[in-house]
Amino acid sequence: MFLYVGAYWADFPESEYGGMWVVMAENENQAVELLKEVDYYPDDARVEKIRQAVQKGDVFQLDDNVHSHQEPKVVACMFT
């Protein structure tokens, strides 16, 4: 399991101050799918922006022994 952390993909004026997100997922594709669920307008162009944000974000491997019981999920997000 990995922890993905990155910047909000919506530009001004749609998002005045930006934002951030934290997702726990098994891989990059799963992180994108989870973030699509919290996006306001997940059309094809937005999904590509989400994918780029995940690729540019930071990735941290979690200790499987400690977190093996965890389900993939959006840990936190703050969008403006």
pLDDT of residue 41: 79
Alpha-carbon distance 34 to 77, whole Å?
Answer: 11
Is this structure's pTM higher than 0.75? yes
Alpha-carbon distance 31 to 66, whole Å?
Answer: 20
pLDDT in tens, 12-63: 777 788 888 999 999 999 999 999 999 877 788 889 999 999 999 999 988 7
Task: Please tell me the total number of residues recorded for the chain in this structure.
Answer: 80
| Structure-token pair, residue 43 | 């059309």
Distances (CA, A) of 37 to 31, 40, 47, 66: 10, 8, 10, 26
74 versus 80: the higher-pLDDT residue is 74
